[in-house]
Amino acid sequence: MVSNGNKINKMAGALPGLILSAAVMLAGIYAAKLIGLLLTSAEILPQGSASPISGIFTAILIGILIRNLIGLPLFFEAGIDFALKYALRAGIILLGLRLSLIEALKLGAWGVPLIIACISTGLFVTLYFTRKLNQSNRLGTLIATGTGICGVTAIMATAPVIKARENEISYAVANITIFGLVGMLFYPYLAHFFFADDPVKAGLFLGTAIHDTAQVAGAALIYAQVFNANEVIDVATITKLTRNVFIIAVIPLVSYLFFRNGRKNEGGASAELPKWYKLFPLFILGFLLLSLLRSIGDATASGSGEAFGLLSPSDWQEFYNFWSSFGSTYMLGIAMAAVGLSTNLKAFKGMGITPFYIGLIAAVAVGSISLLLISLLGDLVAV
């Protein structure tokens, strides 16, 4: 009974911070939508475009402002910590429903190697310059995964494994968001310049060169509406979701590289390499299992007309869309709001502008290798 009482007390103690995190998350979603409406009304983006700035990013900013301009009483801390740990993991697990391995196969034998080459470029260029410029290994690892795979989601999946600090997470998210936005607005025109007569190549470029899934979708929509090529939307989306699948392998890899480097931790001792199973966190396993569930459901829906013999294709689609959106929008939104609410701007002192330069170098490198390989191998990809 004492144990149950303690659990109840802990849950009650977490409520204020959870409620605050949820409120900041909702404010972030609203602010992001408002920004999107303003950009479309100003004709900066075409009509029908989603906001290029995610609610996750705006929730972080709002949380940072509250923490540093208003301040937070201690009774919020328990719920903020709970959101950072558990809402984050739940959101990443549910994201697995967005990714069908069957969709990845549509890219054919050459599409996946192209994605692997771009991911590898983002990872190793970032990590190389992080070492050469003597920057934080944790921060460099976060920027590397965000650049290489899927932006904010990859950063948040990596952060708990390498025990990243809140200010490092915020810095990496800002880095990825800024360069992803630049790519979203600029790359559709660059893609048309190089691949004007081939929407498959243009879609491959947008899907491999831009960081975040929402920004890829925005860039593809800009291309489709400006250059009247709707096929680009499908190709870019499939390419980006296939790229996202590699989070399953890349998170353990970069975590291994982080610990293998043996950088000094805060106490001055070398970081020890954990057991292999700790480099493959359980929430990534949950992500993989739900991705497999999505793939099996898609296969059975197209084969027998009912997903798992229970749901019609439309009901199955409604099911996985609801839960994946719940994970990406609300669970990750609450976690990101908690990141902002726990970030003290004083902790940014000494981090400097150099990590932004590293992010810029990595973004240019990924875009360049994507252009080069698509020019050489793009004709071999069938979507």
Give a yes or no: residue 250 inside a domain: yes
User: 3 in a domain, yes or no?
Assistant: no
Q: Flag whether pLDDT at 335 surpasses 50.
A: yes
pLDDT value, residue 61:
85
* CA geometry: angle 349, 211, 214, nearest 5 deg: 110
Interval 189-216: pLDDT, tens: 899 999 987 888 999 999 999 987 777 8
Residue 81 resides in a domain:
yes
Report the alpha-carbon distance of residue 240 to residue 233 in Å, rounded: 11
The answer to whether 181 and 215 have CB atoms below 8 angstroms apart is: yes
- Which tokens go with 43? 């004709």
Amino acid sitting at position 176: I
**pLDDT tens sequence across 53-101:** 767 778 888 988 998 889 888 889 889 888 878 887 888 788 788 777 7
pLDDT 10s digits, 262-314: 554 444 444 555 665 556 667 778 888 888 899 899 989 888 888 888 889 99
Higher pLDDT, 137 or 287: 137
pLDDT of residue 370: 92
Q: What are phi and psi of 307, to 5 degrees?
A: -70, 120
Domain that holds residue 175: 9-380
Q: Lowest mean pLDDT of 217-231, 316-330, 366-380, name the range.
A: 217-231
Query: 111 in a domain, yes or no?
Result: yes
pLDDT confidence of residue 2:
45
4 in a structural domain = no
pLDDT at 268: 43
Residue 1 lies in a domain: no
pTM of the full structure: 0.72
Is 88 part of any domain? yes
Is 2 domain-assigned?
no
When divided into structural domains, the chain yields a total of 1
What per-residue confidence (pLDDT) applies to 113? 86
Q: What is the pLDDT of residue 296?
A: 92
How confident is the model over 212-259, as pLDDT tens digits? 777 787 788 788 877 888 888 878 878 887 888 888 888 888 888 888
C-beta separation of 91 from 327 below 8 A:
yes
